[in-house]
């Protein structure tokens, strides 16, 4: 981690980020403080929304949200990303404290936007989300959370409750030294366009979902 406005070339590590900007950000969920952290090697900029006082606090609500242009911006029904983002911010506002780290470069679980659309085209031909990535010769999940960990430490967050359905994310963050007191699932009701996608994430990627719960039908 480097100080504000330090653009000295970095080490090339995903977690080599520097804080470059901050501002007040009023949203429909209330007011947050927005921060931008920039990777010093590839210039990727990650956005962070902070609600309330988090430095040195116990059990801070945290969401490490992977960039999803199609879901977060355009409201795609092929995933539940936009709804997860909205729900996480609402939870932080209700609690009065929390951190959402919006990780850029994570589009399509790290394969990029154009590859993600090619994978969608294969899914329309009957491939599931795992098979589609493999058919394209791409990783099933190419994401790194190093930058997120560096950012949380810079914000003084060492004890957290992780908002996530992904056990691999939980395990990786713990392996990087974060203290996770609890994992809080996000229960988003499936729709006809994403039910099979979510079922694949549940069955093949181990995500904690409740697709067979009548309340989620």
Are 161 and 59 within 8 A, CB to CB? yes
Are 17 and 28 within 8 A, CB to CB? no
Are 18 and 3 within 8 A, CB to CB? yes
Taking only Cα atoms into account, the Rg of the chain, rounded to an integer number of angstroms, comes to 17
Provide the Cα torsion 127, 67, 103, 196; round to 10°.
Answer: -40
Task: Give the number of other Cβ atoms within 10 Å of residue 58's Cβ.
Answer: 10
- Paired strand residues for 98: 51
Has 141 been annotated as catalytic? yes
d(CA 67, CA 199): 21
Q: Which of 141, 183, 187, 199 is catalytic?
A: 141
Q: Mark residue 139 as left, alpha or beta (left: phi above 0; alpha: psi -120 to 50; beta: remaining).
A: beta
Has 72 been annotated as catalytic? no
d(CA 104, CA 65): 9
Which amino acids are annotated catalytic? 141, 143
């Amino acid at each position: 981690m480097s100080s504000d406005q330090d653009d000295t070339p970095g080490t090339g590590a995903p977690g080599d980020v520097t804080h470059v900007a901050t501002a007040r950000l009023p949203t429909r969920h209330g007011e947050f403080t927005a921060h931008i952290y920039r990777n010093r090697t590839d210039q990727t900029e990650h956005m962070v929304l902070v609600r309330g006082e988090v430095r040195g606090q116990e059990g801070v609500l945290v969401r490490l949200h992977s960039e999803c242009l199609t879901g977060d911006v355009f409201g795609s029904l092929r995933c539940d990303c936009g709804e997860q983002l909205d729900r996480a911010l609402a939870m932080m506002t209700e609690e009065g404290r929390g951190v959402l780290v919006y990780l850029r470069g994570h589009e399509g679980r790290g394969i990029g936007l154009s590859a993600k659309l090619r994978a969608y085209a294969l899914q329309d031909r009957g491939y599931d989300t795992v098979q589609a990535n493999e058919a394209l010769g791409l990783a099933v999940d190419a994401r790194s959370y190093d930058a997120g960990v560096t950012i949380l430490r810079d914000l003084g967050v060492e004890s957290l409750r992780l908002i996530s359905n992904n056990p691999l994310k939980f395990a990786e963050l713990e392996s990087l030294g974060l203290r996770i007191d609890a994992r809080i699932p996000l229960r988003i009701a499936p729709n006809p366009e994403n039910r099979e996608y979510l079922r694949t994430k549940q069955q093949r990627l181990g995500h904690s979902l409740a697709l067979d719960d009548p309340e989620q039908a």
